[in-house]
Structure 1
C-alpha cells in the first residue's frame, strides 16, 4: 500500500508540476516577474525531483548481489536525499538570489494580470496534487501527527512529495502576494519580497528533508511502536526472555532484526531450532516489514537479587 500510494502521489505531482512549469515560464516571459521566474525554476526542480523518486523506486527493486547481499532498498533513500539537495540549490538558493537582484534593481511588471491568472490556475492544480499526497499519506500514517509522520516514516517518497507540494502551494500564494501588491501599490519591490519569501520557505523545507533523508541513509531502526511489537512477539513458547536486540531498515519495506534470546535450559537442538522458527514467525506476523530475522540462542545470565 505504501509503495503504490507513494507512486500515485509522485505521478500526480509530476504531471501537475510539468504543466505548471510551462505555464509559469510563459508568464515570466510575458511579465518579467521575478516571482514567476522563481516559481518556474521551482516547478522544473519539482518535476525533476519526481522523476528521481520514480527512478529510485525502480532501481531499489534490483535483485541482491554478492556485493550487495541485502539488496538495493536504500536507493530510495539516496534519490530522496538528492531531491532534497536539488530543492535547496535549484529552488531556495536561486529564488533568494533572484529576490536580492530584484530588490536591488526593481523593474516594472508587464501585463501583470497574466501572472495573476497563471498563478490562480497553478494554485488549483497544486491543490489537487497536495490533496492526493495527503490522501495517500493518511493510509499509512495511522494515529501519528503529520510532523511525526514526516519524522518517523521509513518510506521516503510520501513525506518528500507531501513537503514539496506544501512548499509549492505556499510558494504560489507568496508569488501571488508579491505580484498582487506590486500591481496594487505600483511598487515592483513587492515582487522581490514575494520571491524572497519563496526562497526562505523552500530553504526550510529542503533542510528538513536533508536532515531526515541523511538519517535514513545512515540507517534507522524500527519505530517505537514496531520495537514494542517485536519485543512482545519474540517471547513465547519456550523463549523465556529477549536478552539483546538490534534493528535497522535496509530499505523502506525491509527491516533487519538481530537478537539474542534466552530459551529454557536443556532443550535439545531440534527443539531450539523449532522455537527459533516459531519466534521468527511471530515477529513477522506482528511486523510484516521484518523480513530478515536472525535470532541467536544464549544463556540467561541475569541474576535475581533478594
Structure 2
C-alpha cells in the first residue's frame, strides 16, 4: 500500500470514520425530514403504504443514530479491559441497526399491509398530498443515496475491486447499511406511489395494502442481508484474501524465513486486522537473531500495510506434526495460491 493511502486510512480511523460519518449524517438528516412528511401524508390520506413508508423512515432514522454510535465508539483507544480495542463495536451497533430495520420497519409495514388487504375498504382522500410527499421524499432520499454510491465507488476504486465485490467483502458495515437502506427507500417510494395510484384508479384498498406488504418484505430482506454481514464480522472473519497473501509473500521473501507454516488473520474492526504468523526461521539463526528478525518484520509489515493493528510472530518448525495437522484441518492444504 502506498504511503499516502496508508496515511489517509490511518487518519480516517482517528477521525471516527471520516467520509463514513458524513454519509451517515446526510442519510440521517434526509430520513428525519422524509419521515415527518410521510407521517403527515399518511394522516391526511389514510394510505397504508404511506403509513408503511413513515415507519420505514422512522426505522432508517433510528438506524443512522445507531450507526453514528458505531462510528464514535469503535475508535476508542485500547485499554486494560479491551486490549485489542473497540473496533468491533462498529459491527455490533450495525447489527442492532439491522434488527431495528426489521422490527420497527418491516414488521409494521407487513402488519399494515395484511390488515389493509383483509380489512374493510377505506376511502382514500387527498391523494395529491401523498404524491407531493413521495416526490419530495424521492429527491431527498436520492441525495443521500448518491452520497452513499459515491463513497462506495471511491472505496472500491481505492481497493481496486468492483462495486459489487466491495459491497460483498467490505469490513465497513456503516456505509453498506446506508447504501442498502437508501436503495430500499427509493424502491419503497416507487411501491408506495404505485399503491396510492392504483388505489385511486380502482377504488380498491387492496393495492395500497399490497404495496405496504411488499415494502415490509423488502425491508425484511435488507435486514437479513445486513444482519448476516455483521454476524460474520462479529464472529471473527478473516482479513481480505489479497491482504493475507500479500503478508504471506512479504514474510516468505525475508532472508531469515525458511517457510511460513501458518498465517491467521482476524478483523478487529474496520481497517483493523490482527495477524498471527507461525514461521520456520533459518536454522543457522541464534536466539538474538530471531528476536531481531521479529522486530524488523513487525516494522516492515506495519509500514507497508496500514490495516495491520496487531502482529504476533511465533517461531515453529515446519515439520511439527501438531501444527501441520491444525493447518490442514483449517485450510485443507497449506497455503494455496490466491487463484486456487
The TM tier, using the shorter chain, reads over 0.9
Helix, strand or coil for the counterpart of 1:260? Answer: strand
Candidates 132, 151, 161, aligned match of 1:117: 132
Partner of 2:5: none
1:29 matched to 2:43? The reply is yes
CA contact (8 A) 2:58 2:105 kept: no
CA displacement at 1:302 relative to structure 2: 8.0
1:114-263 equivalence runs, <5 A: 114-142=129-157, 143-235=160-252, 236-263=254-281
Candidates 13, 17, 22, aligned match of 1:8: 22
1:253-275 CA distance string (max 9 Å, x none): 21100011122112133321222
1:137-190 CA distance string (max 9 Å, x none): 112123434443222111111111111111111111110111111112222221
CA distance in 1, matches of 2:277, 2:192: 53
Candidates 54, 64, 72, aligned match of 1:50: 64
Runs of 5+ unmatched residues, structure 2: 1-8, 322-340
The TM-score normalised by the length of structure 1 is: 0.94
CA displacement at 1:66 relative to structure 2: 2.0
Aligned residues: 303
CA contact (8 A) 1:149 1:159 kept: no
Runs of 5+ unmatched residues, structure 1: none
The TM-score normalised by the length of structure 2 is: 0.85
CA distance in 2, matches of 1:281, 1:63: 21
CA contact (8 A) 2:152 2:163 kept: no
CA displacement at 1:34 relative to structure 2: 0.8
Helix, strand or coil for the counterpart of 2:18? Answer: helix
Partner of 1:281: 299
